[in-house]
A and B are shown apart, each in its own frame.
Chain A
Amino acid sequence: MDANELCYLSAGQLGRLIQKKEVSPVEVIEAHIKRAESLEPRLNSFIAFLPEKAREEARRAEKEILAGRSKGPLHGIPLGLKDLYYVRGIPNTAGTKIFKDFIPDFDSTVAARLREAGTILLGKLNMHPLAYGPTGENPEYGHMHNPWNTECITGGSSGGSGSAAASGQCTLTMGSDTGGSIRIPSALCGLAGLKPTYGRVSRYGLTTLAWSQDHPGPLARTVEDCALVLNAIAGYDPNDPVSVPLPVPDYTKALLGTIKGLRIGVPKEYFEVPIDGNVKEIVWKGIRKLEELGATVTEVSWSMYPHAAAIANTIQMAEATAYHKKLIKERASEIWHPVRLRLEAGFFISAVDYVQAERARALFFEQSLELMKKVDLLAGPTVPVTAFKIGTNEVKIGNRTTKAIPLLTQYTRPFNINGFPAISIPCGFSNDLPVGLQLAGRPFEEETVLRAAHVYEQATEWHFKRPPI
């Protein structure tokens, strides 16, 4: 098989070929190394590229599979981890050179579980510094570039994860999502990106941004791949105090069902905030497609939705500043200025502000649960615009100019404060740039989210499209 074709097979497809011994992990890894080496100068997806280590692991995987010791469907699959997942012996920068010499002496739970599942680590991926921003810009390690248009942002903060998966440099990537940092790059790069329920996947061994809103999760080119990753990483971890001891289903089985009778709600408030006209039309077409496929679609009201950003920001600012307090005191001048401002701003959130935001969050959570008694899923846009040029601070929508950063997170943040699972899947293109459809479900009902996303994906062809790179 042509090397570039190998790079665009999904993990599900590749895994089946590897298990049948029709393709070797060595061949797969070589193809991905070659592709990454050719694309990296234009995309800047990696902070640490590890070809020799990957080759060694691929040779080991090949031997194990030939000897009948397969580790399962992800054995031999190329993986990239956002550079905030601790991997023993490999620097963990969290996107800033301040931490270039920090080498963890243990694995994050997610990295350990993905290794046990047989994935092969190709490298640590570029990210918005300290994960504190949604664009994927990083002057220290170089801005991440969108494979669909390299002048444009990838979205962030997991921007390297988005560009590496969308460009076929990695079959699977992992991101983390505090305000949309998995779903935003997934939408802007044309990927499936899943933020599982808070507590479903361990945060142990990840650099923190905001404890109560950080969610680890996958970015991949298909929904099946997100399910395969979730099978490997979900489940109780005593090292994470908010990890939930619930049984883990086989998420790939959830993909087999239909969505006949599934109740989908579209919050009317989603369309009372700024949104590009083309994106709105494309997302509605996606929602109508779900209706054609058997779901019932109704408009719902989510009256607290307009407060989500204030609640999320207040809590995030206080938590991020608390976590990085020592760094701010000792090395503030080395932090990229926009991130430094965000971090220092947290000192101006009072204890009362923080508690009031947590009280508001409790109301938001209760209202979200009430809403989800009437419907099984919420659907809407992931991001109200397509990727814009790197360096953009304001975006024009119609006659109105809007600040770029709050715009990017306006649909994703609500699910960081209620912790509900949410996925972004590609649902079309505007001016040759991908548009994302977001589906969110009840806590710990990732199966419903994945099933609806998979049914939609299989009925459309967006996931087959490849960026012109």
Chain B
Amino acid sequence: MAQPFSFSKELFLRIAEESGLGTDSSHLDSLYAYLQGVLPGLRTIENLDLADAEPFMPLLMKKE
């Protein structure tokens, strides 16, 4: 099972700074709120058993 989602404001601010997303605090607050809504839904991938899976390679889909 996936761990409960946690994404601290401190970690958020560090990545935002490293990514050059500026210092406008009201914008950063809205981005943080947006991420809090979006990221938990993406974590469901952690529920899948990926042990035997290699990354998808669309170039190999079909070439005859």
Interface residues of A (CB under 8 A from B): 198-199, 212, 241-242, 244-246, 304, 306-307, 309-311, 313-314, 328-329, 332, 337, 341, 344-345, 347-349, 353, 355-363, 365, 406, 417, 419, 443-444
Do B53 and A362 touch across chains, with their CB atoms under 8 A apart?
yes
Interface residues of B (CB under 8 A from A): 7, 12, 15-16, 19-22, 30-31, 34-35, 38-39, 41-48, 50, 53-59, 61-64
Do B45 and A356 touch across chains, with their CB atoms under 8 A apart?
yes
Instruction: For A198, list chain B residues within 8 Å (CB).
Output: 58, 61
Closest B residue to A346 using CB positions? B19
Most A CB within 10 A of own CB, among B47, B54, B56, B59? B56
Interface of A is mostly: helix
Closest beta carbon of chain B to A363's beta carbon, Å: 5
Instruction: For A337, list chain B residues within 8 Å (CB).
Output: 30
Residue of B15, B31, B38, B47 near A313 (CB, 8 A) is B38
Closest beta carbon of chain B to A430's beta carbon, Å: 28
In the complex the two chains form, what is the Cα distance from A70 to B55 in whole Å? Answer: 47
Instruction: For B62, list chain A residues within 8 Å (CB).
Output: 199, 244, 246, 443-444
In the complex the two chains form, what is the Cα distance from A313 to B45 in whole Å? Answer: 11
Do A310 and B56 touch across chains, with their CB atoms under 8 A apart?
no
In the complex the two chains form, what is the Cα distance from A345 to B57 in whole Å? Answer: 24
In the complex the two chains form, what is the Cα distance from A245 to B64 in whole Å? Answer: 7
Q: A345 with B61: in contact, given A355-B55, A361-B56, A363-B48 (CB under 8 Å)?
A: no
Do A345 and B35 touch across chains, with their CB atoms under 8 A apart?
yes
Q: A245 with B34: in contact, given A199-B58, A309-B41, A359-B54 (CB under 8 Å)?
A: no
11 extra A-B contacts, CB within 8 A, seeds A337-B30, A348-B15: A212-B58, A244-B61, A246-B62, A314-B42, A328-B21, A329-B20, A347-B19, A359-B54, A362-B55, A362-B56, A363-B53
Residue of A199, A310, A332 near B42 (CB, 8 A) is A310
Closest beta carbon of chain A to B51's beta carbon, Å: 9
Closest beta carbon of chain A to B8's beta carbon, Å: 12
Q: Lowest 10 CB-CB distances: which A-B pairs, in order? A: A358-B55, A361-B56, A347-B19, A359-B53, A362-B56, A359-B50, A341-B34, A310-B44, A358-B56, A310-B42
Instruction: For B34, list chain A residues within 8 Å (CB).
Output: 341, 345
Closest A residue to B24 using CB positions? A333
Instruction: For A357, list chain B residues within 8 Å (CB).
Output: 42, 45
Closest beta carbon of chain A to B41's beta carbon, Å: 6
Closest beta carbon of chain B to A360's beta carbon, Å: 5
In the complex, the number of residue pairs spanning A and B with C-beta atoms less than 8 Å apart equals 98
Most B CB within 10 A of own CB, among A241, A242, A361? A361
Most A CB within 10 A of own CB, among B19, B38, B42, B46? B42
Q: A332 with B41: in contact, given A341-B30, A360-B53, A444-B62 (CB under 8 Å)?
A: no
Instruction: For B12, list chain A residues within 8 Å (CB).
Output: 348
In the complex the two chains form, what is the Cα distance from A349 to B48 in whole Å? Answer: 18
Residue of A341, A348, A362 near B54 (CB, 8 A) is A362
Closest beta carbon of chain A to B25's beta carbon, Å: 14
Do A242 and B45 touch across chains, with their CB atoms under 8 A apart?
no
In the complex the two chains form, what is the Cα distance from A241 to B57 in whole Å? Answer: 12
Do A360 and B61 touch across chains, with their CB atoms under 8 A apart?
no
Do B45 and A360 touch across chains, with their CB atoms under 8 A apart?
yes
Q: A419 with B58: in contact, given A347-B21, A363-B48 (CB under 8 Å)?
A: yes
Closest A residue to B33 using CB positions? A341
